[in-house]
Amino acid sequence: MFETSLTWNDVLFLLQGAGTTLTITFWAVLGGTILGMLFGLARATAPWWLNAPIGFVLDILRSVPLLIQFVLANSFKSILKLNVTAFTVGCVVLALYTAAYCAEIVRGGILAVPPTTRRAARSLGMTYTQDLTNIVFPIALRVALPSWIGLTLGVMKDTALVLWIGIVELLRSSQILVTRLQEPLFILSIAGLIYFLMSFPIARLGARLEKRWREND
């Protein structure tokens, strides 16, 4: 028989870590998506003097490894004696990182809307804003959704890096258990399963929406 010294308390400990992973993912994706939509809209429509600096900052966020961003931000927090938790730092850094990628996805989606379709909307008397909200955004959403789902799943895995600034999320809690119980295969399998169970509904939701939309066009 298979024997393990893993107790229910340990499983609870893992699930707590998973809760932290989900919470960070939630805030990072929420904040990152809202910011990403603003930046992406600016990237697709703003004049160059606004577009260029935003593009530059987003380039930096995308090209510096996330781990370095976490550690740097956490050090700045200490240097500046900011009264925020490591958890907040983790969420903010990851949200900005997500925003940088989300902006490009949003920009791509908006630019994928044919100018002739937008012209048709304007020719019916719709204002610039009405065209954006009724035509451009819905079409762009369909184009961007698969990449956005991919981004969200990626961010969930990237949350593991916050263990470097002292946050006990799912990966860190499994490490702690591995060290204590010396059953790496079993414990990491459970952690992997939990990651999968958290990702699966998101991936499914994406596939469902995509299928529904594909039937229409």
The rounded distance, in Å, linking the Cα atoms of 207 and 186 is: 31
The rounded distance, in Å, linking the Cα atoms of 76 and 22 is: 25
Sequence-ordered list of residues with C-beta below 8 angstroms from that of 66, at least 6 positions apart, any chain = 93, 94, 97, 158, 161
Please report where in the chains the tokens 């603003």 appear, as a residue: 38
Q: Does 142 bind another protein (CB under 8 A)?
A: yes
In the list 6, 46, 126, 203, the residue contacting another protein (rule: CB under 8 A) is 126
The rounded distance, in Å, linking the Cα atoms of 27 and 97 is: 12
Contact region for another protein (CB under 8 A) — 69-77, 122-130, 170-178, 183-191?
122-130
Please give the single-letter amino acid code of residue 37.
M
CA-based nearest residue to 50, from 103, 102, 95: 103
What is the nearest approach in angstroms of another protein to the Cβ of residue 216? 4
What is the nearest approach in angstroms of another protein to the Cβ of residue 172? 43
Site track for another protein across 61-100, x = CB under 8 A: ----------------------------------------
CB of 63 or CB of 116, closer to another protein = 116
CA-based nearest residue to 41, from 140, 130, 167: 140
**Stretch 154-213 residues interacting with another protein (CB under 8 A):** 213
In the list 88, 117, 179, 189, the residue contacting another protein (rule: CB under 8 A) is 117
Q: Does 130 bind another protein (CB under 8 A)?
A: yes
The H or E element that residue 194 is part of is: helix 184-214
CB of 22 or CB of 209, closer to another protein = 209
Judged by the rule CB under 8 A, the positions of this chain that interact with another protein are 114, 116-117, 119-127, 130, 134-135, 138-139, 142, 213, 216-217
